[in-house]
Amino acid sequence: MSGPLLEIEELSVSFPSDAGALPAVRSVGFAIAPGQTVALVGESGSGKSVTALAAMGLLPPSTRVSGSVRFEGRELLRLAPSELRKVRGGSIAMVFQEPMTSLNPVLRIGRQIEEVLALHRGFDAVRARAEAIELLGHVGIASPERRVDQYPHELSGGMKQRVMLAMAVAGRPKLLIADEPTTALDVTIQAQILKLLRTLCREQNMALLLITHDFGIVAHFAEQVNVMYGGKIVERAPVVPLFASPSHPYTRALLAAMPRAELGRARLEAIPGRVPALDQMPAGCPFAPRCKLAFDRCVEMPPLSRVLGDSTGQHVACWAVETETT
Amino acid sequence: MNDGSSDPEQLGERRTPFGEVWQVFRRDRLAMTGLVALAVLVVCALLGKLLTEWWVVIDPATVRLPDKLRPPLSGPSEVIGAERLPEFGFYLFGTDDLGRSVFARMLQGSFVSLTIGLVSVGISVGIGVLLGGIAGYYGERKFLFVRIDAWIMRFTDVALCFPTFFLILTVVALLPPSIFNIMIVIGVTSWMGTARFIRAEFLSLRERDFVLAARALGLPSWRLIFRHMVPNALSPVFVSATIDVARAVLTESALSFLGFGVQPPYATWGNILADGRAFLFDAPWLFLIPGSAILLIVLAFNLVGEGLREAMNPKLRRARA
């Protein structure tokens, strides 16, 4: 099969407010091939999660979403609610940042997994329970036949995230969206969960959209990387050229801000300023106020995404890079 | 694989949410007293239904005119035939102006009081959960240019404005006074508190991560509302429902006292009390006994309600522990 699994084009999201519509995501587009792992990287508030939620149709009804999100050629943004429900959990599953609060506190974890199995795979109660135990064991939970009857508060954070993963893969989705799946966990458990995530993706040939702000995770996992800033994708590249020659000043600044062993006790780079608030988005390039290379045109006009000449598949939206290379 | 999931021995004692509430509740002496009193009342009510109607050992309708207005613990006079002797050979709670055993009548009335309390609260909680749930979950959507939330909550405010008791009196005066009508009328006029509780809980639950996660898994709305959100919103409702049962019992007694409730010869605590008011000084037990019984049931439900409130609220719970 050819063609991408998920294709997002010109996706814009804005939240209504008293001061007018606030644009959270602006003309974002990227694609994910079957089985591929794509990362969406950026600071808090850059629109990563909103992009994912918009694609799933999970934003509140007052939000204005435009553009196109196609999954296996079907337009998700204009799908009937009943059809969309089949896609959610069945074809696309999502894992959230906070395992502590993402499980229903009053239901046994087994019930919550069985619910997905009954809904998306039509299992009866007996089969669903057997499969739930099987799944819990598969995501690395010891003595699953006892854990299945426990309540979320009896599990640790790492275990809860494992349960969330079990629920997510229970519907055999083709795409898993993981929204900062390890941010709330200890470093040691982060590594375990990421490993599990990779194993699950490989076994089921599941594509993964990994939302994170951790370039370490990106380097290990992603094949394709989208760097987001101020609601826009500022740079898109395969993982190797991105790390070898980051082009956008924001990507460079982010990479420079990563602690590295070889730097020793040298002072860590920081990006001055912070992500602009939604109601104060600059007219030009969103990064211009914090960019070292910014000049007049950056402030006046938003740069368009251009392919870099050296056939590495890097796309960059930056006036400075454009004038540099031409 | 070492986030604590490795050692099955460490799983510890199984504790359900119910088990935790029970642990705290058990230590609350007043609430336990209330619970025991309720248990006794429930047994009385069931025995009453059984012994006075289905397998008549104690007949509350037996009239013994020679023995009228006997005080409690007095024995029957010789003229009473064997088939009309009182339950234990003497009148435990005395007799009324027709010589009927007050004990037998109280027993019959306990079932009425309790079922009216429980069923009417069941009806009001049902209506409240439904309306509050719709207002809290679908509130943002509009119906005739006004938000659904506003429609339902303003309707609730209107319902709250009516003086409930007079509304009940009006309805009961128009409808035939049967026990079912009274249950329905009390239920239909007391759902407003529940609706407000549920709506408030839903507004906060709606924003919680697990609801978003459940939506991301494609669960349909009704399942989300009734399986995921309602159980999480129920604990304040539970507390207010126990106290509402007490109020419903009181309302029924008041209605019966006024003669609008369950009709004689069927005995209820309210109409025993009403019959007794003519003999206030000659036979004080006629109002003291049903009066104390009503006091006891209302007190018991209130104590249990208070105990549940403390046991279900984690903040109060920690203060106690």
- The residue extents of the domains of chain B are 18-320
Tell whether B16 lies on the interface with A, counting CB pairs under 8 A: yes
Average pLDDT across chain A, whole number: 85
Supply the CATH number for residue A129's domain. 3.40.50.300
Chain B residues with CB inside 8 Å of A143's CB? 8, 11
Q: So what's the pLDDT on residue A325?
A: 60
Q: Is B229 exposed, middle or buried (0-12, 13-18, 19+ CB in 10 A)?
A: buried
In B, minimum Cα distance to A62 occurs at: B140
Residue with the larger pLDDT of the pair B259 and B135: B135
Residue A254 has pLDDT above 80, yes or no: yes
Mean pLDDT of A72-88: 87
What is the C-alpha separation between B257 and A278, in angstroms, rounded? 66
Look at residue A200 and tell me if it is in a domain.
Answer: yes
The contacts found for B61-68 with CB under 8 angstroms, 24 or more apart, are: B61/B100, B61/B265, B62/B100, B62/B101, B62/B104, B63/B98, B63/B99, B63/B100, B64/B95, B64/B98, B64/B99, B64/B100, B65/B98, B65/B99, B66/B99, B67/B91, B67/B95, B67/B99, B68/B95, B68/B96, B68/B97, B68/B98, B68/B99
Query: What percent of chain B stands above pLDDT 70?
Result: 91
- Residue pairs spanning A and B at CB distance below 8 A: 108
Answer whether B4 sits within 8 Å of A158, measured CB to CB. Answer: yes
In A, minimum Cα distance to B231 occurs at: A106
Q: So what's the pLDDT on residue A310?
A: 66
What is the C-alpha separation between A263 and A255, in angstroms, rounded? 13
pLDDT tens column, A16-38: 888 888 888 888 888 899 989 99
What is the C-alpha separation between B137 and B230, in angstroms, rounded? 11
In B, minimum Cα distance to A149 occurs at: B14
Chain B residues with CB inside 8 Å of A167's CB? 213, 217
Phi and psi at A257, nearest 5°, equal -85, 0
Answer whether A104 sits within 8 Å of B228, measured CB to CB. Answer: yes
**Domain B18-320 of CATH type 1.10.10.10:** no
Half-sphere exposure of A70 (CA within 13 A, CB side): 14
The tally of domains found in chain A comes to 2
Mean pLDDT of A192-199: 89
Residue A290 has pLDDT above 90, yes or no: no
Buried b (16+ CB within 10 A) or exposed e, A18-38: eeeebbbbbbbbbbbbbbbbb
Question: Is residue A15 within 8 Å of A270, Cβ to Cβ?
Answer: no
For residue B11, the distance in angstroms to the closest alpha carbon of chain A comes to: 8
Judgement on whether residues A218 and A69 belong to the same structural domain of the protein:
yes
Residue A323 has pLDDT above 90, yes or no: no
In A, minimum Cα distance to B14 occurs at: A150
Judgement on whether residues A321 and A212 belong to the same structural domain of the protein:
no
Judgement on whether residues A248 and A209 belong to the same structural domain of the protein:
no
Judgement on whether residues A60 and A122 belong to the same structural domain of the protein:
yes
What is the C-alpha separation between B149 and A14, in angstroms, rounded? 24
Q: So what's the pLDDT on residue A243?
A: 85
Q: So what's the pLDDT on residue B128?
A: 93
Tell whether A68 lies on the interface with B, counting CB pairs under 8 A: no
Residue B155 has pLDDT above 90, yes or no: yes
Tell whether B176 lies on the interface with A, counting CB pairs under 8 A: no
Chain A residues with CB inside 8 Å of B141's CB? 61
Tell whether A31 lies on the interface with B, counting CB pairs under 8 A: no
Q: Which of B142, B147, B210, B225 to mutate to test the interface with A (most CBs of A within 10 A)?
A: B210
What is the C-alpha separation between B56 and B13, in angstroms, rounded? 48
Chain A residues with CB inside 8 Å of B227's CB? 107, 115
What is the C-alpha separation between A110 and A113, in angstroms, rounded? 5
Using pLDDT thresholds of 50, 70 and 90, give the confidence band for residue B8.
very low
What is the C-alpha separation between B39 and B42, in angstroms, rounded? 5
> Which of the residue ranges A31-40, A201-210, A298-307, B188-197 would you say has the lowest mean pLDDT?
A298-307
Judgement on whether residues A173 and A287 belong to the same structural domain of the protein:
no
Judgement on whether residues A177 and A291 belong to the same structural domain of the protein:
no
For residue A208, the distance in angstroms to the closest alpha carbon of chain B comes to: 15
pLDDT tens column, B115-133: 888 999 999 999 999 999 9
Mean pLDDT of B183-209: 89
Answer whether B219 sits within 8 Å of A94, measured CB to CB. Answer: no
Q: So what's the pLDDT on residue B39?
A: 92
Question: Is residue A211 within 8 Å of A177, Cβ to Cβ?
Answer: yes
**CB contact set of A82 (below 8 Å; sequence gap of 6+):** none
Using pLDDT thresholds of 50, 70 and 90, give the confidence band for residue A282.
confident
Look at residue A1 and tell me if it is in a domain.
Answer: no
> Which of the residue ranges A223-227, B55-59, B128-132, B135-139 would you say has the lowest mean pLDDT?
B55-59
Chain A residues with CB inside 8 Å of B220's CB? 85
Residue A199 has pLDDT above 70, yes or no: yes
Chain B residues with CB inside 8 Å of A119's CB? 217-219
Q: C-alpha angle B95/B100/B105, rounded to 5°?
A: 95
Tell whether B207 lies on the interface with A, counting CB pairs under 8 A: no
> Which of the residue ranges B41-50, B77-86, B236-245, B256-265 would you say has the lowest mean pLDDT?
B77-86
E-strand stretches of chain B: 142-143, 146-147
Judgement on whether residues A247 and A213 belong to the same structural domain of the protein:
no
Residue A255 has pLDDT above 50, yes or no: yes
Nearest to B210 among A60, A90, A104 (CB): A104
Question: Is residue B190 within 8 Å of B248, Cβ to Cβ?
Answer: yes
The encoded tokens of residue B51 equal 């012994």
Answer whether B213 sits within 8 Å of A62, measured CB to CB. Answer: no
What is the C-alpha separation between A196 and A202, in angstroms, rounded? 10
Give chain A's largest Cα–Cα span: 67
Q: So what's the pLDDT on residue B321?
A: 45
Nearest to B210 among A94, A103, A120 (CB): A103
Nearest to A142 among B6, B16, B141 (CB): B6
**CB contact set of A174 (below 8 Å; sequence gap of 6+):** A5, A34, A72, A91, A92, A206, A207
Compute CA distances A173 → A54, A57, A94, B33, whole Å. Answer: 18, 16, 10, 54
Q: Is A262 exposed, middle or buried (0-12, 13-18, 19+ CB in 10 A)?
A: exposed
Tell whether B142 lies on the interface with A, counting CB pairs under 8 A: no
ipTM above 0.85, yes or no: no
- The number of beta carbons lying within 10 Å of the beta carbon of residue B180 is 11
pLDDT tens column, A104-143: 888 888 999 999 999 888 888 899 999 999 999 988 888 8
Phi and psi at A212, nearest 5°, equal -160, 170
Question: Is residue B235 within 8 Å of B314, Cβ to Cβ?
Answer: no
In B, minimum Cα distance to A163 occurs at: B5
What is the C-alpha separation between B26 and A263, in angstroms, rounded? 61
Tell whether A165 lies on the interface with B, counting CB pairs under 8 A: no
Beta strands at A175-179 and A92-95: parallel, antiparallel or unpaired: parallel
> Which of the residue ranges A284-298, B73-87, B190-204, B307-321 would you say has the lowest mean pLDDT?
B307-321
Judgement on whether residues A246 and A203 belong to the same structural domain of the protein:
no
Answer whether B227 sits within 8 Å of A115, measured CB to CB. Answer: yes
Tell whether B56 lies on the interface with A, counting CB pairs under 8 A: no
Residue B10 has pLDDT above 60, yes or no: no
For residue B317, the distance in angstroms to the closest alpha carbon of chain A comes to: 17
For residue A181, the distance in angstroms to the closest alpha carbon of chain B comes to: 13
Judgement on whether residues A74 and A129 belong to the same structural domain of the protein:
yes
Mean pLDDT of A228-236: 87
- Picking from A208, A229, A250, the residue at the C-terminal end of a domain is A229
Judgement on whether residues A311 and A250 belong to the same structural domain of the protein:
yes
Answer whether B216 sits within 8 Å of A107, measured CB to CB. Answer: no
Judgement on whether residues A83 and A54 belong to the same structural domain of the protein:
yes
Question: Is residue A310 within 8 Å of A240, Cβ to Cβ?
Answer: no
Answer whether B218 sits within 8 Å of A87, measured CB to CB. Answer: yes
What is the C-alpha separation between A103 and A119, in angstroms, rounded? 17
Residue A272 identity: P
Mean pLDDT of B264-290: 84
For residue A213, the distance in angstroms to the closest alpha carbon of chain B comes to: 20
* Residue A111 lies in domain: 6-229
Residue B76 has pLDDT above 80, yes or no: no
- Picking from A205, A229, A253, the residue at the C-terminal end of a domain is A229
Residue B260 identity: F
Answer whether A151 sits within 8 Å of B212, measured CB to CB. Answer: no
- Picking from A212, A229, A246, the residue at the C-terminal end of a domain is A229
Question: Is residue A116 within 8 Å of A167, Cβ to Cβ?
Answer: yes
B211: helix, coil or strand?
Answer: helix
pLDDT tens column, B308-319: 888 876 655 555
Residue B12 identity: G
Judgement on whether residues A58 and A23 belong to the same structural domain of the protein:
yes
Answer whether A119 sits within 8 Å of B218, measured CB to CB. Answer: yes
B269: helix, coil or strand?
Answer: helix
Chain B residues with CB inside 8 Å of A162's CB? 5
What is the C-alpha separation between B70 and A156, in angstroms, rounded? 68
Average pLDDT across chain B, whole number: 82
Residue with the larger pLDDT of the pair B48 and A313: B48
Mean pLDDT of A194-215: 89
Answer whether B11 sits within 8 Å of A103, measured CB to CB. Answer: no
**CB contact set of B3 (below 8 Å; sequence gap of 6+):** A156, A157, A158, A159, A189, A192
Using pLDDT thresholds of 50, 70 and 90, give the confidence band for residue B5.
very low
Using pLDDT thresholds of 50, 70 and 90, give the confidence band for residue B26.
confident
pLDDT tens column, B174-190: 888 778 888 888 898 88
Nearest to B220 among A85, A142, A168 (CB): A85
Answer whether B140 sits within 8 Å of A94, measured CB to CB. Answer: no
Q: So what's the pLDDT on residue B17?
A: 67
Look at residue A64 and tell me if it is in a domain.
Answer: yes
